Chain A
Amino acid sequence: MATEPYDRYEYDVIVIGAGGAGLRAAIEASARGVKTALICKSLLGKAHTVMAEGGIAAAMGNVWKEDNWQVHFRDTMRGGKMLNSWRMAELHAKESPDRVLELEEWGALFDRTKDGLISQRDFGGHRYARLAHVGDRTGLEMIRTLQQHAVHTGIDVHMECNIQRLLKDGDRVSGAFGYWRPTGTLVLFQAKAVVLATGGVGKAWKFTSNSWESTGDGITLGLDAGAELIDMECIQFHPTGMVWPTSVRGILVTEGVRGDGGTLKNSEGARFMFNYIPEFFKGETADNEKEADAWYEDKKNNRRTPDLLPRDEVARAINSEVKAGRGSPHGGVFLDICTRRSPDYIRKRLPSMYHQFKELAGVDITKEPMEVGPTCHYIMGGIQVDADTEATCVPGLFAAGEVAGGMHGANRLGGNSLSDLIVFGRRAGLAAAEYVKTLKGTVSADRGQADAAAQALLEPFSRSGNENPYAIHADLQECMQSLVGIIRTEGELRKALEEIAVFKQRLGRVRVTGGREFNPAWHLALDLHSLLSVSEAVTLGAIERKESRGGHTRDDYPFADDRFGKLNIVLRRRNGQFSVALEPLAEMPDELKDLLKERK
């Protein structure tokens, strides 16, 4: 195929992805004086971050003076079942308050306490009310604040540009290659450093809270460039997604509903979470309704309601109730806030939940309970990075936000994602700028690599096959939902691998019709490359981790195994073949170990 001219740009740093992490990374890199571009595959301000609802976890102590970074660190590590990178959890707990206050300096309008400070709300697994929030639309506030700040900082923003390959000059990253979605024209970015901030992978599952963008692009870009993945098997199924109508199944129902007083009930009206308190959390969880109810007002003398156990625990409990035949009419359970709270309170604290149920399901949550069930929400695993700099093992390549692994261990606490984005987004932007400044010599983007990528990108237009990319995507989602879901077994995981191998063959026979201008069938055909890579990586990791921990539950290995608790499952891919290794977690310093022991 003859190659065509590409649009060409040159930057010091390019940031791929414009959610919270990407925006914050670009702002930081630009502030450090390097020429920076932000590239996003949707319009600016539409990234999946806008869907985050509940809040940003930061131990500011505005509501509970007893809160501090040490408690936040402990909650995060315990919530992650100790598989977290302790250094990331430490940096995150220490720095998130400053990052929240920085958003306020840039114009964010958080809800306030009576003294006029930023208010904080309760969330699962957090010992104190800790989430800075704006009603239930905190992600929107974060992305708008960052966006409005960024457009005045001299960053070039390239919208609706989909990056498909990273380019390398020897071992180093030297740029990226992709296409403009509106025109289909190909584009080459030469860059000294690349920050991946592309978010998650939820679109590999059938029922997901994720937007169309969550196709695992950055994970695949990184893999193809030589980066390592860790703990890909750790997938968070958020306990409360909508279950009905079918077409909206999976849409998120914020944990804020439970934080603000909502309780889970089965078809018998029983608050079943009292039956699912694991040994690990017994000391800090109320074992009766009276204490749980009292906790909302008096946290000193009562233990937390089990409705707010970490997400993995709640999702498994709902799954078990439904399996036992105690589910709601559409296969979920009931989430009831109208019994405890007044209509005014609900509409004020949870306006978008009210709106969402009213308009999409015809349910008035101020009068009747919601029907909810688990939905694929977040990947804890991802690209392995250095905790302090977010550098990958590929020189010049950085990763921050959901695309990176380590911070959340085996299970992420609610609210820790938005704070992750701004803490590590900033650190990645800073480190990328420093890397560029100390880089000796120049890097060049290799035309041959770009030409090979171009050929692969355009192939679906000229093939003779007859596969429909939408059909492959639907089949992949069925496969991952039924075989690599909340509860897993080796037999089903192996079956998933076989199916994924067939999907890969089918992808090679996809033919798209129509032109290159904004052609969604073509876009999906290209996104399937990363969806399949990610699905394979998750399944391989899930086979290897022969234990149950956080967002990875094995029916054939139902308990946590201390041996696996000290290991990352590390995946690499060379020439299209994955290799799997078990590698030890870094040893935690004694002073941090002491924080984990402390228990009241």
Chain B
Amino acid sequence: MAAATEVTMRVWRGDATGGAFKEYRVPAQEGMVVLDVIHTLQATQAGDLACRWNCKAGKCGSCSAEINGTPRLMCMTRMDTFTPGETITVAPMKTFPIYRDLVTDVSFNYEKAKMIPAFRPRPKEADGTRRMQQADVERGQEFRKCIECFMCNNVCHVIRDHPENKTAFAGPRFLMRLAELEMHPLDTHDRKELIKYQAGLGFCNITKCCTEVCPEHIRITDNALIPLKERIVTEYHDPVVWAWRKLTGKR
């Protein structure tokens, strides 16, 4: 194995009352990711350096941070993607309140999740089974790849730059969840009012920042948010639909 090279890390240390970047020099081995270097720091220089992580394999979405200003999973960011000698800055996600160091209070996301009514399937087929075609489940499956790293919500300017919008906006993560349920072949709930009003779909002006940071490469904007917007437009603003309903009394 190649010998360790020393890297310079600037890591944000502090809590809700304030903090600052602290610089560390750390040995890094070939093939390491940023999370390995953070672990080395903990083991050798800063035992109390707080960071969340679970799987270290890009599957749990716990170790989200802003690395050189870009939201990334620390466990999937290889050290050899940086220029040799470059100082690597690691900061907590900006949109959520700080607990300590790299750990933020992400309860916003869990509150929004609760707001979404559960899946409610239509009755089973006559033979007692449920049948769905692969092509139909694949639309929802793309969104269910989400590992809830919350980086899309972190990067979304609607709440990143305007915390006052947090009460009225569910963020890309949960708008995508709503899209997934809307596209579920078996679901019977009508969530359009929720999507338009409480979840605040109208705030989204499709800048695609969420799609860019998604570690699962889900096409959040193109495949979830835009189709959802089209449904809402049809429901609330399509003159033909409006006239048809007026004439027939059918919703």
The interface of chain A, by Cβ under 8 A from chain B, is 42-48, 50-51, 101, 104-107, 109-112, 115-117, 119, 134-135, 137, 140-141, 144, 148-149, 151-152, 159, 182, 211-213, 244-248, 251-252, 351-352, 355-356, 359-361, 468-471, 474, 512-515, 517-522
The segment from B133-141, B196-204, B206-214, B233-241 that touches chain A is: B133-141
Instruction: Considering the complex, give the chain A residue whose CB is closest to the CB of B143.
Output: A109
A51, B53: Cα distance in complex, Å: 13
Interface presence of B243 (CB below 8 A): no
Contacts of A359 in B (CB 8 A): 58, 76, 78
A351, B217: Cα distance in complex, Å: 11
Contacts of B114 in A (CB 8 A): 151-152
A-B contact pairs, 10 of them (CB 8 A): A44-B110, A50-B54, A109-B140, A182-B105, A212-B54, A212-B56, A244-B31, A247-B29, A248-B56, A355-B58
CB distance B130 to A246 under 8 Å?
no
Q: Determine which of A43, A116, A135 lies in contact with B133 in the assembled complex, contact meaning CB atoms within 8 Å.
A: A116
Contacts of A474 in B (CB 8 A): 43
Interface presence of B7 (CB below 8 A): no
CB distance B101 to A470 under 8 Å?
no
A111, B132: Cα distance in complex, Å: 9
A-B contact count (CB 8 A): 171
Q: A137-B145, A360-B78 in contact; A46/B110 too (CB < 8 A)?
A: no
Contacts of A351 in B (CB 8 A): 145
Contacts of B32 in A (CB 8 A): 245, 247
Contacts of B137 in A (CB 8 A): 109-112
A525, B131: Cα distance in complex, Å: 51
Q: Mask for B135-161, Cβ within 8 A of A = 1, else 0?
A: 001001100111110000000000000
Q: Mask for B80-109, Cβ within 8 A of A = 1, else 0?
A: 000000000000000000011101011000
Interface presence of B21 (CB below 8 A): no
CB distance B62 to A116 under 8 Å?
no
Q: A107-B118, A134-B141 in contact; A140/B59 too (CB < 8 A)?
A: yes
Name B5-53 residues within 8 Å CB distance of A. 15, 29-33, 36, 42-44, 47-53
**Centre residue among B60, B117, B134 by max chain A CB count within 10 A:** B60
Interface presence of B168 (CB below 8 A): no
Q: Which 3 pairs of residues, A with B, have the shortest CB-CB distance?
A: A245-B31, A514-B48, A116-B131
Contacts of A137 in B (CB 8 A): 59, 145
CB distance A182 to B103 under 8 Å?
yes
Contacts of A251 in B (CB 8 A): 56-57
A476, B141: Cα distance in complex, Å: 41
Interface presence of B171 (CB below 8 A): no
Instruction: Considering the complex, give the chain A residue whose CB is closest to the CB of B148.
Output: A45
Interface presence of B119 (CB below 8 A): yes
Interface presence of B61 (CB below 8 A): yes
CB distance A518 to B33 under 8 Å?
no
A149, B114: Cα distance in complex, Å: 10
**Size class of the B contact interface (CB-based, 8 Å):** 35 or more
A119, B31: Cα distance in complex, Å: 37
CB distance A105 to B48 under 8 Å?
no
Q: A112-B133, A247-B31, A518-B101 in contact; A471/B55 too (CB < 8 A)?
A: no
CB distance B106 to A43 under 8 Å?
yes
A110, B56: Cα distance in complex, Å: 25
Interface presence of B129 (CB below 8 A): yes
CB distance A247 to B55 under 8 Å?
no
B214 nearest CB across to chain A (Å): 12
Interface presence of B219 (CB below 8 A): no
A121 nearest CB across to chain B (Å): 14
A366, B107: Cα distance in complex, Å: 40
CB distance A519 to B52 under 8 Å?
no
Contacts of B147 in A (CB 8 A): 50, 140
A20, B51: Cα distance in complex, Å: 24
Q: Determine which of B58, B110, B144 lies in contact with A144 in the assembled complex, contact meaning CB atoms within 8 Å.
A: B144
CB distance B43 to A471 under 8 Å?
yes
CB distance B118 to A152 under 8 Å?
yes
B166 nearest CB across to chain A (Å): 18
Contacts of A135 in B (CB 8 A): 141
A351, B187: Cα distance in complex, Å: 26
Contacts of B50 in A (CB 8 A): 517-520
Instruction: Considering the complex, give the chain A residue whose CB is closest to the CB of B183.
Output: A109
Contacts of B126 in A (CB 8 A): none
Instruction: Considering the complex, give the chain B residue whose CB is closest to the CB of A521.
Output: B47
CB distance A111 to B134 under 8 Å?
yes
Contacts of B31 in A (CB 8 A): 244-248, 360-361
CB distance B47 to A468 under 8 Å?
yes
**Centre residue among B55, B59, B62, B184 by max chain A CB count within 10 A:** B59
CB distance B113 to A148 under 8 Å?
yes
CB distance B62 to A46 under 8 Å?
yes
CB distance A360 to B48 under 8 Å?
no
A515, B50: Cα distance in complex, Å: 11
Interface presence of B1 (CB below 8 A): yes
Known pairs A112-B137, A248-B56; list 10 more (Cβ under 8 Å). A42-B60, A46-B54, A107-B121, A107-B187, A149-B118, A212-B54, A212-B56, A245-B31, A352-B58, A519-B50
CB distance A46 to B105 under 8 Å?
no
A371 nearest CB across to chain B (Å): 12
A515, B62: Cα distance in complex, Å: 22
CB distance A48 to B54 under 8 Å?
yes
CB distance A109 to B141 under 8 Å?
yes
A44, B150: Cα distance in complex, Å: 13
CB distance B129 to A117 under 8 Å?
yes
CB distance B99 to A51 under 8 Å?
no
Contacts of B56 in A (CB 8 A): 211-212, 248, 251
CB distance B33 to A360 under 8 Å?
yes
Instruction: Considering the complex, give the chain B residue whose CB is closest to the CB of A330.
Output: B1
Contacts of B181 in A (CB 8 A): 107
CB distance A148 to B118 under 8 Å?
yes
A251, B55: Cα distance in complex, Å: 9
Instruction: Considering the complex, give the chain B residue whose CB is closest to the CB of A104.
Output: B130
Contacts of A106 in B (CB 8 A): 118-119
**Centre residue among B29, B51, B57, B145 by max chain A CB count within 10 A:** B57
CB distance B99 to A48 under 8 Å?
no
Contacts of A141 in B (CB 8 A): 144
Instruction: Considering the complex, give the chain B residue whose CB is closest to the CB of A139.
Output: B59
A369 nearest CB across to chain B (Å): 18
CB distance B36 to A247 under 8 Å?
yes
Q: Determine which of A44, A48, A159, A520 lies in contact with B42 in the assembled complex, contact meaning CB atoms within 8 Å.
A: A520
B104 nearest CB across to chain A (Å): 10
Contacts of A148 in B (CB 8 A): 113, 118-119
Contacts of B29 in A (CB 8 A): 245-247
